[in-house]
Structures are given as structure tokens and as C-alpha cells.
């Protein structure tokens, strides 16, 4: 079981949403996944990407992005800029849970935790619930959560979805190679194989560093676990077939 090791109530957290439309943001945001691709592959120039990266790594203002999910859940994408380096944590939270109940989907700190989502789950989280605040644009949601993904069996339509998202943010139409690179997973954990456990109603990952080797939230009270299962079943209640 992986739970939040840090919480940031006293840290210099700022809303990251204004950064989403900054020039060079996505080249900076996805720099770890896109090694070998210049900023121009995202439709940016190197200077803008460098400036955006400085904003993301600002020690005095740690960007946090809230990706609202159904049922009061959210994924928090949280930058943590310490004295030596910047890491990014991905917490799954609920509006009624105490902070100690937050679940870690991924973290690129020295403990390397991930992947935390498979493609069926991520694909079903791209549409935001109505009337919520936070990151609601489906292209933003996809690109923002790509580092959490690590799915060796992502279907062909995943490439098209990532290309569409990249182009919507200014990348050239010929972005298939970049999209395929981004779908290879974060270099700290890469892509892994996922299977759906029908009895547990949960996707299970075979990745060495994944928190999903056991059902997510298996320590939670039953009512909370049932609500969590409904969000991350990979279909908003749809039962995927075992394996793929």
C-alpha cells in the first residue's frame, strides 16, 4: 500500500492552471517523457520552454493542478521544489477525505512510484464532470496526466488521442512520432502490463515500481473503496474483460 508521504498545507503552493496556456508549457511539462524531441516538436521555441520550466521549478511557488473526477474525487498534480531538485507527485483525493487518506498514483522523486494509470482508466477520465473547477479541458487533462500512464498495451487509438491533444496545443499535425514516444511511459517506470481483476473490480499492474500491484485503496473502508472502484474501473462503471 502506498499512501501520501508528504502533504503540502504549509508549502508555497499556487494554482497551476494559469500556466497551461503559457508559451512552451507543454514542452516543459513533458520534457522527461520526450527526450530526443526539441521544443519545436511541441510547436514551441527553446526559450519559451526554458522559461516555462523555470516557472514549474520555482522554489517560491509550487504549481498544483487539480483534475476533478466524478463523485467528488480529484487527481492533484503537485510540483515540489526542494533545495536540490524538483519532483512531481500525483495524489488521488476525495473532497470528504482527510489529507491522510490521499493515495499516491505516481511520484518521480527518488522512490520512483509509477505507473499509476492504465489507458482504459485515463481515457475514461478525460471528460470532466459538469460544474466543477480545475482542469476541465480534455486535451489538457490527457497531456497533464500522461506521466502517470504506463501501459504496454495501449491501443492504437491512444496515439491518435495524444496527437489530437498535442495539435490542439500548437504542435504540428505530423506529431505521431512524438505521441508514440510520450506513450512509452515515464523513464523512471516505463510501460507495464495491466490486467483487470474481476473479483477485486480493479486494474492490477505488474510494474516493479507501481502502487497498483494491489487494488488501489484496498485499505479503505468499504463505502470509500466502492466509490473509488466506480471512478477507476476503466469505464465509469463499465466492467472491462479480464486481461486485454
122-168 residue pLDDT tens: 999 999 999 999 999 999 999 999 999 999 999 999 999 999 999 99
Q: Which of 163, 126, 140 is nearest to 41 (CA)?
A: 163
Give the CA count within 13 Å in the CB-facing half-sphere of 48: 17
Q: Which of 64, 57, 67 is nearest to 7 (CA)?
A: 64
Residue 117's pLDDT is 97
In a domain, 239, yes or no: no
The structure's pTM equals 0.91
In a domain, 148, yes or no: yes
In a domain, 200, yes or no: yes
3-state DSSP assignment of residue 180: helix
Measured distance CA(198)–CA(179) in Å, rounded: 31
Measured distance CA(67)–CA(75) in Å, rounded: 5
**What dihedral angle (degrees, nearest 10) is formed by the CA atoms of 97, 67, 202, 114?**
-100
* Element at 107 (helix H, strand E): strand 103-107
80-134 residue pLDDT tens: 987 678 999 999 999 988 766 689 999 998 889 999 999 999 999 999 999 999 9
Domain residues for the domain of 167 are 13-231
In a domain, 227, yes or no: yes
3-state DSSP assignment of residue 227: helix
Please report which residue ranges of the chain form alpha helices under DSSP H: 25-29, 46-56, 119-124, 138-145, 156-168, 176-182, 222-231
Q: Which of 171, 158, 238 is nearest to 27 (CA)?
A: 171
In a domain, 241, yes or no: no
Give the total number of structural domains in the chain.
Answer: 1
Amino acid at each position: 500500500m502506498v499512501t501520501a508521504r508528504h502533504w503540502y498545507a504549509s508549502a508555497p503552493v499556487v494554482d497551476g492552471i494559469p500556466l497551461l496556456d503559457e508559451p512552451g508549457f507543454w514542452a516543459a511539462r513533458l520534457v522527461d517523457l520526450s527526450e530526443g524531441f526539441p521544443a519545436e516538436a511541441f510547436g514551441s521555441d527553446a526559450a519559451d520552454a526554458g522559461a516555462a520550466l523555470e516557472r514549474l521549478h520555482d522554489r517560491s511557488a509550487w504549481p498544483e493542478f487539480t483534475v476533478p473526477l466524478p463523485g467528488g474525487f480529484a487527481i492533484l498534480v503537485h510540483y515540489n521544489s526542494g533545495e536540490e531538485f524538483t519532483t512531481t507527485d500525483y495524489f488521488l483525493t476525495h473532497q470528504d477525505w482527510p489529507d491522510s487518506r490521499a493515495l499516491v498514483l505516481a511520484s518521480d522523486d527518488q522512490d520512483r512510484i509509477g505507473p499509476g494509470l492504465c489507458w482504459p482508466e485515463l481515457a475514461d477520465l478525460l471528460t470532466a464532470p459538469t460544474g466543477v473547477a480545475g482542469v476541465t479541458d480534455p486535451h489538457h487533462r490527457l497531456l497533464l496526466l500522461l506521466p502517470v500512464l504506463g501501459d504496454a498495451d495501449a491501443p492504437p487509438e491512444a496515439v491518435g488521442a495524444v496527437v489530437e491533444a498535442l495539435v490542439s496545443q500548437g504542435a504540428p499535425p505530423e506529431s505521431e512520432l512524438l505521441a508514440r514516444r510520450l506513450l512509452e511511459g515515464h523513464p523512471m517506470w516505463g510501460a507495464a502490463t495491466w490486467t483487470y481483476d474481476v473479483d477485486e473490480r480493479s486494474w492490477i499492474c505488474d510494474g516493479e515500481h507501481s502502487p497498483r500491484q494491489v487494488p488501489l485503496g484496498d485499505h479503505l473502508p468499504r463505502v470509500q473503496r466502492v466509490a473509488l472502484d466506480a471512478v477507476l474501473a476503466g469505464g465509469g462503471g463499465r466492467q472491462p474483460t479480464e486481461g486485454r
